[in-house]
Structures are given as C-alpha cells and as structure tokens.
Amino acid sequence: MNPENFEREQGEQTSLEQRLEALPVNQREKLEASWKTLEELTPKGELPEGVIISKVEHEDAESTKTKVAEMQDFLKKAFEGEEMVDEMQMEIGLQHKIVDYYGARDAEGKLITLLSSNSVETKTESGQSELSMVVWYVANREGYKGKSVVKEVAAAGLSDFLKRAKQELKPVKAILGETELGDDDAVRRERAFNRYAGMKRVYGKDKNGKLSEVLYEAPPEDESTKGAPANFMVRLIDGRDTLSKEEYMSIVKGIHSQYSRPEYFTSEYFAFLEEGDPKDFPQEDVDKYRQRYLGITEKIQQKIEKKLKPVQGDLVLLSEREKRKGAEE
C-alpha cells in the first residue's frame, strides 16, 4: 500500500473512532451493528484474470460525455435497445455525484458489466436519518455470464456505500431494487437480486389473510401524472423479514426524492429533452414545473398509502421461492 494512502486511511479511522466515542452508547451500537452487518453481506471473491473493476468518476465535462457515450452504447446492447436513462441525466448524475456507476472491464479494456446505484435517506419514526442503497440495474455484455464479476461489482458499490454511511455517521437500513412488471425476465432478475443480496418482494395480508404483493410506483418521467408500477425488492440490514407500513412509505418517499432533485430541473436539461434552446426554457418556468412535479409525486404517495390501509399488520418480505412454497401449502 502507498504510504500516503495508509496514513490517510489511518487518520480517517482515528477520526471515525473519535466521532463514535462522542455519541450516546445506544446510538453508537446501532451504527456499528448496521455497518458490521453490511460488511458481512458484501460479497467476497476473486476476479477472473485480467478483469478490472472501477467506479466511473466525473473529471470534466468532455471526459464525462465520453464515458456516458460508452455506457449508453453498452446499455442499449445489454437491454436490446431499451433506454434506461438519457445521456444528459447520466451526465448530471455523475457531475453531482447523485448516481454511482461501477464498471468491470476485461483484459482488452472493454466493458463487460455495469452497475448503477445511489444512496437514499429515510427517517425513522423518531426522526433519525438512515441510509439505503438502491440498485437500479446490473447490465452484462451480451453472451457474457460472469457471476463472480457481478458479485465483485456489487461488492465495490456496497463498500463505497458503507464508507459514505461511516462518513455521515448514519446507520444502514436496507438494500433496495425493482423489477419491471410484465417483463419476461422479471423472475430471473428477482432471483438474481435474492441470490446476490437476499432481496425479496413486499407482500401484505388483507382481513381474510389473503396475501397480495405491494407494488411500488415510481414518479413519471414525462408529462403523465400516473406512476409507473414495479415489483419492489428489499433487504433489511437488521435481518427482519417484515417492515411496518410507515417504514415502507419512508423508503418510497426517499426514492421519490431522487427523481425531483433540483439538479435535474434546469433550463439546459429541458432544452436537451425538447431539442430546443435553453433560452426558450426560463429557469423560473422550470422551477414552477418542478413544483407541479412534486405535487404529482405527493399524489402518487397518497395513492400508495391508500392501498396500504386495508393491509393487516406489518408487510412481509418473501422470495419468489418462499411465495411459491407458501401458495402450495
């Protein structure tokens, strides 16, 4: 290890220990317990020879555009032409460190795996902040089946997420993800989420004991006022397979807040979306649009809360296999 890096890491560790010592015992224990669990959950293995994993970082506008162009091309091939996110949104995410991208490259320097994630903040009933990591997607090069590489890419993301939690002195609540409704690959992706991070779908029981999935709804990314339903995947760091309706709504609101971040509501971005001139989109008008968007998001949250009212007791987390086994019994 480089002596300078060693000294810096030692200094950071000492600083963290000092900050922890200043906290009440119960708060410190909660923090350390969640960090330890996440560390234990982080996959550990060896990469195939020649494979390198690195985080995609913003350096300057030009280099970011080049990196985004490469990732866009990779994603379109991996998802058969489906656009996961537009170029400028990716550029904004990188520039403002909103979204994290981790890539694995083969010996020739070509991308073989790409993971997209970001951190969201939620609140406990007492108002304490907690952090969760949302895995948006993991894409592989067509024909490439490197399970160990996917695990190592996930490990890189989880390790950085843990560093952030320690820097901010916040406990880790959950690892989150989603799979599209009606997708032929939904079950395959669900099993992958469960296999790599123990993530499970969310269910609730009605007054007759009937089990139904609790669907997540993402805010719209266009002029629509309707949410986009999706299967939701959760892994609670404390090991529970249940969560309260209040906890679930806190998670939903934390994710929704990422869609309405002010960094995405600029004259330049709206001009990009409409293929126009930024002068035609005064920032004042864009700000008003954001306020309307926040209103739409709030109505979607109210809709989800309304659907949760008939649910009896806490929500239950079940894997596809557990759900199928329960139905057979």
pTM summary value: 0.88
Instruction: State the pLDDT confidence band at 78, using cuts at 50, 70 and 90.
Output: confident
Tokens 């007492």 found at: 126
Provide the pLDDT for residue 7.
Answer: 46
- In the predicted model, what is the mean pLDDT of residues 171-191? 76
Domain count, the chain: 3
Instruction: State the pLDDT confidence band at 4, using cuts at 50, 70 and 90.
Output: very low
Instruction: State the pLDDT confidence band at 59, using cuts at 50, 70 and 90.
Output: very high
Distance, CA of 140 to CA of 247 (rounded, Å): 33
Does residue 289 share a domain with residue 219?
A: yes
Does residue 13 share a domain with residue 115?
A: no
- In the predicted model, what is the mean pLDDT of residues 195-203? 82
Does residue 93 share a domain with residue 53?
A: yes
Does residue 207 share a domain with residue 123?
A: no
Provide the pLDDT for residue 3.
Answer: 45
Residue range(s) defining the domain that contains residue 13:
1-41
Phi, psi of 87 (to 5 degrees): -60, -45
Does residue 205 share a domain with residue 278?
A: yes
Does residue 191 share a domain with residue 124?
A: no
Instruction: Give me the CATH number covering residue 134.
Output: 3.40.630.30
In terms of pLDDT, which residue wins out, 172 or 184? 172
Phi, psi of 136 (to 5 degrees): -75, -45
Distance, CA of 234 to CA of 174 (rounded, Å): 7
Does residue 125 share a domain with residue 81?
A: yes
Does residue 200 share a domain with residue 92?
A: no
Provide the pLDDT for residue 149.
Answer: 85
- In the predicted model, what is the mean pLDDT of residues 252-279? 94
- In the predicted model, what is the mean pLDDT of residues 292-314? 94
Does residue 303 share a domain with residue 191?
A: yes
Does residue 164 share a domain with residue 97?
A: yes
* Residue 252 structure tokens: 């939903």
Does residue 256 share a domain with residue 125?
A: no
Provide the pLDDT for residue 326.
Answer: 64
* Residue 130 structure tokens: 């907690």
Instruction: State the pLDDT confidence band at 199, using cuts at 50, 70 and 90.
Output: confident
Distance, CA of 70 to CA of 93 (rounded, Å): 15
Tens digits of residue pLDDT in 163-174: 999 999 999 999
Tens digits of residue pLDDT in 121-180: 998 878 889 999 999 988 888 777 666 788 889 899 999 999 999 999 999 999 998 877
Does residue 46 share a domain with residue 133?
A: yes
- In the predicted model, what is the mean pLDDT of residues 16-29? 90
Average per-residue pLDDT in the chain?
Answer: 87
- Three-point CA angle 10, 98, 102, nearest 5°: 70
Tens digits of residue pLDDT in 81-112: 677 789 999 999 999 999 999 999 999 999 99
- Residue 130, strand partner residues: 122
